Amino acid sequence: MNLALRDIRHNLGRFLLTCLGLGLLLGVALAMVGIYRGLVDEALSLARGLQADLWVVEAGSRGPFAEASRIPGDVREAVARLSGVVAAGSLTFQTVEARHAGGPGSDAAPTEDVVRERGGEAGRPRIGAVLRLQVVGHEPGRPGGPPGLVAGRGIGRGRLEMVADRSSGLPLGAMVEMAGTRFRVVGLTARTVSTGGDPLAWITLRDAQELQFRLSPPAARRAQAGGGGGQPQDTVNAVVARLSPNARAEEVASVIRRWKHFSALTAAEQENVLTRSVVERARRQIGLFTAVLLLVSAVIVALIIYTLTMDKMREIATLKLIGAPDRSIVALIMQQALMLGGIAFAGGTALLLSVKDAFPRRVLLGPEEVVGFGLLVLMICLAASLLGVRYALRIEPAQALGG
Amino acid sequence: MMPAPLVELIGIAKGFGQGEARVQALEGITLSVAPGEVVGLRGPSGSGKSTLLNLVACILEPDAGVLRLAGETVWEGGWRRRDLRALRREKIGFIFQFHNLLPFLDATDNVALALTLAGIELPEARRQARALLDHLQVGKRATAMPAKLSGGEAQRVAIARALANQPRIILADEPTAALDSERAGVVMDLLRQVAREQSAAVLVVTHDDKIFARFDRMVSLRDGRIEAAGLPAAALTAV
């Protein structure tokens, strides 16, 4: 006879309400885990999406995502000549506030994918709306271009074209204005965002260099008056290289590190930089918040189980008096704690999975996270029930007697 | 020849507290209850009735004396048995003032629980529980939850639970306190019937003078000592 189940059935409404409250709390805690995983995934998606085996950057810099890095564009040729390098491409990165300048297809209704990736916002950005984009300047046909187009085409040799992530909401054919220059969206990618969650947009290296390094007319005049010709425009933030399958990235990197003014990072090192430094604070922040939520959940479970046990003081005393062993009483309390945690976890998880696409940034939950979190919740419930168990074991059978 | 008593207390003493704050709850209690005998235990508040009942139930440990239950010496200078809960399960049935049925089990399962604790499989325990409820004339309420039972019905179910494992000793703590005179009389008659049928010793703590006549013997306690013991009428006049 399962006393825990029978007691729950007897107070089903109260138990389900308790599960609902706890489920919401666990759902928030699980969302934090998903947000963290999404953050890391988004941070790595850029570096992984570019499919580079090696990153050549300015000496003393940890790459374009962590620190400023400026190197001459012609370094690409030197890198491409290295033994083991199959191809190399120059890249620039800059965050730009662009303006949606209309264009064909701009008024069309967005697809479900677009709505989901835009965090549930209904509709495309209005014409004239300001968009925050991470613009990648690349050399078409060389490493560093947009990965996995889901619509349209890549950028050809032509200028003033753009491939944008569809989470920007921009349709094919849309015009985007950046620093007074208009670009036409010719292709769309999916799930390519910057470490800050901004949609990526690829344009040609030359366009990007003009955007990034071109001086405004007054600044150019001042530079000329000062005797300088301004900065050389063939500057890039990094050169990425793809290696032959036989080449060892670390060996090629060590060759480049011997060059004056340059450094090199392997793909693994670049990912390490991204996860360790770029998202480290966010990771700690979310991790701490998740830990606090789990602690609060544990306290709540402990209080609920303790209160449920206190409510059953007379029943437990009666059970002891009629000869029920301690294990039956411990089982009664622990099973209720596990059922509470299990149902709340299932409810919270189901709720989160149904709304996770509405979050403005990616919430990434795989079976590993869900199962791991579930096991953690069960352990918390077991630990939290110990307070109730301790109380129950201290109840004297004599408390069943008398009025 | 008199049958051996099922409850036997010889020179039992019990005190609480230390030093000047020590209160001697029971002193030199010698009492026995024979099979089939229904003994009432009365006395004013603080006289030691509950302490005596708790001692017989092996909930409290005596300070001195000898305690024998169903022929087994349970306490003599210390507990002679390690698992007192098993002892209660096997030998003692309890009836409470407010029935103490588990509110989340129906009448049948409240009775069946006592049987499952003794190792009987649930289907068989339920079968025996229903038979017992029929015997106590509450079979029609077998599936009712305790909250839906009347006071008399609930107390019958509680008696069924106490009798489920056919204990040789039945301890009742004011079993009629929550009942009217008529139902109190029915419950006492039932206890007398059970005592006869199962040759059980029944020890009842009560304040209810309306049921005194239904006891074989009354024991009156005052200040932790037996003040009077004998037929109910004698006890009534003595206290």
Domain locations in chain B as residue ranges: 34-60+83-238
Asked if A324's CB is within 8 angstroms of B53's CB, the reply is: no
Of A1, A321, A403, the CB nearest to B109: A1
List per-residue pLDDT tens for chain A, 403 residues long.
888 999 999 889 989 999 999 899 889 888 988 888 888 888 787 778 778 888 888 887 777 777 778 888 788 888 888 888 888 888 888 888 888 877 665 555 555 555 555 544 445 667 777 888 889 988 888 888 888 888 888 887 677 889 998 888 888 888 888 888 888 888 898 888 887 788 889 998 888 888 876 666 676 677 667 665 555 567 888 888 888 888 888 888 888 888 888 888 888 888 888 777 767 777 788 888 888 888 888 888 888 888 888 888 888 998 888 888 889 999 999 998 899 999 999 999 999 988 888 887 788 888 888 898 889 888 888 888 888 899 999 988 878 875 4
Contact assignment for B85 to A315 by CB distance below 8 Å: no
d(CA B133, CA B157): 7
A126 in B contact zone (CB under 8 Å): no
The residue ranges of DSSP E strands in B35-179, in sequence order, are 38-42, 64-69, 72-76, 92-95, 169-173
**Which fold, B34-60+83-238?**
Rossmann fold (3.40.50)
CB pairs under 8 A between A and B: 79
Nearest residue, CB atoms, B114 vs list A314, A320, A322: A322
Out of B53, B98, B118, the one facing A403 most closely (by C-beta) is B98
Q: Name the phi and psi angles at B179, rounded to 5.
A: -115, 155
Give me the residue label for tokens 């003081």. A313
Q: Are A19 and A348 in contact (CB under 8 A)?
A: no
Query: Token pair of A395, please?
Result: 């109840």
For residue B108, which of B97, B116, B98 has the smallest C-alpha distance?
B116
The verdict on ipTM greater than 0.90 is: no
Check CB contact of A13 with chain B, cutoff 8 Å: no
- Are the beta carbons of B122 and A323 separated by less than 8 Å? no
- From A308's Cα to the closest Cα of chain B, the distance in A is 13
- Asked if A328 is an interface residue toward chain B (Cβ–Cβ < 8 A), one would say yes
3-class SS string, A220-244: HHHHHHCCCCCCCCCEECEEEEEEC
B112 to A1: CB separation less than 8 angstroms, yes or no: yes
Residue type, B28: G
Q: Is A53 within 8 Å of chain B by CB? A: no
Three-state DSSP class for A364?
coil
Nearest to A1 among B85, B122, B145 (CB): B122
Nearest CA in chain A to B165: A322
- B118: chain A residues, CB-CB within 8 Å: 323
